[in-house]
Chain A
Amino acid sequence: MIVWRRSCAKSGPLKTFIVGLALAWAALPIVPVRAEPTASAPGAVVYFHAPLDGARVPQRFTVKIGLKEMGVAPAGVTKEFTGHHHLLIDADMVPLDQPIPSDYNHIHLGNGQTETVLTLPPGTHTLQLLLGDHQHIAHQPPVMSKKITIYVR
């Protein structure tokens, strides 16, 4: 965006106008191509079967994920009302219009897994689920669970 503004500033008002027009025109087809938000199903809910909020768990434990009103599909599969799970560990909610980061705090279950085994150090941790579409971007409206707190003993 900054680049655009700079070029606009250099090239005067007419060009700015043309560029603006071009942008406005381009924006229509660009939006669906690039950041097309995938629609979630009405009433879709993602939630934890296990562990439950406030649970005390051993260092190695299984996270089981439930999904209501939608289906699970591996990453890359474009199918209406499907997505794959992302598990946010000790992380705040991510920007919902960008691909979900992939690191130790953002676990992608890209093969369509509905459960995974975690090993966490003892102490208090938070877990949250966020469904992502084939491009790892959250649906619109986003399908996310409540952030739960667990105690690893």
Chain B
Amino acid sequence: MYRFTRACLIVLAMTTLDARIEAGAQQLAPAKTPSAPNAKVFFVDLKDGATIPSKLKIRFGIENMEIAPAGIVKPNTGHHHLLIDTELPPLDQPIPSDFNHVHFGGGQTEVEITLPAGEHTLQLLLGDQAHIPHRPPVFSEVIHVRVDPATVEKTRTPAPAGASVFFVEPADGATVARKVTVKFGLSGMELVPAGTNKPNSGHHHLLIDAPLPALDREIPSDLNHVHFGRAQTETEITLTPGDHTLQLLLGDHEHLPHDPPIFSKVIHVRVADTVPEKAPQASAADGRRPSPPDAAVYFIYPSNGERIYPNSTIRFGLRNMGVAPAGVAKPNTGHHHLMIDVETPPLDRPLPSDLNHIHFGNGQTEKKITLSPGEHTLQLILADDHHIPHDPPVISERIKVTVKAVRTARKRSRR
């Protein structure tokens, strides 16, 4: 108690009695505490330039001296001070105590700190029983760290114990139609629209074929993360044939999961692998298979207007559909056809098969072709198991390429 009072007195002397600082210092902290020769303080397992998570346990090391709690008068001892984003304080005065100067007066040798995203500096400075640096001072080098913004936690809304979200339908493992009604519920909390900041409330998010997103940030909003910001408990979604996973995750007014997060178990549904109901209307007339919306076929290489070598690998890209070899009848799949130097053929019958209409019936997605020097046009058309383009057709733009003369190619390859 006495020592505490004395420490306080020092602080008082420092802060209020400006004029007497020197005298006070001499009187109250006569002859600074000497440090041991070669004494060293350092960060354990933390290197200059490191990228660190926002919440981090850092450990302090000391060599040739010992740690003693503040107030203990013992030769060759001291206690750590962590300087965050600040320079060394004046070395003849007690180390300030604030957010930037953290005292470990209990003799701690580790601490868990939380830093905001960005660049920070850390430095250790040993202080004596009265928080004054030794003579000569014992401090570590300044280390620079970068806090990974991805690890910064937002303040999450607490959730009550026992709250849960659940699916009413479909059941786990159910086989469903392409258009499926999903109903869900919430217990132990109140359902409110997004933006309503009210304790113990939230709104649903449906994760389709997506893992749980990071729980310390806003739930993404896309086709795989559907928000029900108006507090809906029912929705109709359209799934492609095949297996899908569904999961519910409750979000607070800012779409941030609660703490602890409230999410349902992952349920699996299977969409029957039959030709969808759409098929009859599309294919009744001319036997064409439907293509999904947003399906597109395109050239990854080359691009329109590009100069290419006579022997070039043409690479095909396909969006929102899958590739299947010829003869495989599977919804939303097809195989590539490359049209060389021809107009777009009729799209309601099988594509011709010749040197200008190359079929990739084995499911290839790239092909090395040889073209004569000069200008050529290339176009990709996806077609179904019977080589008939889909409805609507999935067809690329017709691109123009210029094939370099062979000599140029050789010269270049020698370089």
A residues bordering B, Cβ < 8 Å? 49, 59-60, 64-68, 70-74, 77, 79, 81-82, 104, 109-115, 119, 121-123, 152
Cross-chain contact of A112 among B214, B316, B324 (Cβ < 8 A): B324
B318 touches A79 (CB 8 A): no
CB of A72 within 8 A of CB of B322, answer yes
Rounded to whole angstroms, the CA-CA distance of A111 and B211 in the bound complex is 20
A57 to chain B, nearest CB (A): 13
Q: Which chain A residue shows the least CB distance to B215?
A: A121
Q: Residue-by-residue, is B357-375 near A (CB-CB < 8 Å gives 1, otherwise 0)?
A: 0001011111000000000
- Closest CB in chain A relative to B301 CB, distance in Å: 8
> B407: CB under 8 A from chain A?
no
The count of residues in chain B whose C-beta lies closer than 8 Å to any C-beta of chain A is: 38
CB-based nearest B residue for A59: B220
Asked if residues A112 and B323 are in contact (CB atoms below 8 Å), the reply is yes
Tell me which residues across on chain A come within 8 A of B362, comparing CB atoms: 71, 79, 81-82
> Once the chains are docked, how many angstroms separate the CA of A70 from the CA of B366?
9
Q: What are the 5 closest A-B residue pairs judged by CB atoms, nearest first?
A: A71-B363, A112-B322, A111-B322, A104-B211, A72-B323
Q: A72-B364, A109-B322 are in contact. List 20 more A-B contacts (CB 8 A).
A: A65-B365, A66-B366, A70-B363, A71-B323, A71-B360, A72-B323, A72-B363, A73-B323, A73-B325, A73-B363, A79-B362, A81-B362, A82-B363, A110-B242, A111-B332, A112-B322, A112-B333, A114-B323, A121-B214, A123-B148
Docked Cα-Cα span, A66 to B318, in Å, equals: 11
Query: B residues near A, CB below 8 A?
Result: 148-151, 210-211, 213-214, 217, 220, 222, 224-225, 240, 242-243, 300, 313, 315-319, 321-325, 328, 330, 332-333, 360, 362-366
Asked whether, in the complex, the Cβ of A111 is within 8 Å of the Cβ of B242, the reply is yes
Closest beta carbon of chain A to B327's beta carbon, Å: 8
Do the beta carbons of A74 and B365 come within 8 Å of each other? no
Q: Are B328 and A77 in touch, CB under 8 angstroms? A: yes
A49 touches B300 (CB 8 A): yes
Chain A: which residue is nearest B148 at the CB level?
A123
Q: Determine whether the beta carbon of B365 is less than 8 Å from that of A113.
A: no
A150 nearest CB across to chain B (Å): 13
Do A119 and B328 form a contact, CB below 8 Å, given A112-B322, A114-B323? no
Contact assessment for B317 and A74 in the assembled complex, using a CB-CB cutoff below 8 Å:
no
Give every chain B residue within 8 A of A70 (Cβ-Cβ).
363-364
Chain B residue numbers with a CB within 8 Å of A113 are 318, 321-323
Cα(A81)–Cα(B360), bound, Å: 13
Known: A59-B220, A77-B324, A81-B362. A123 touches B318 (CB 8 A): no
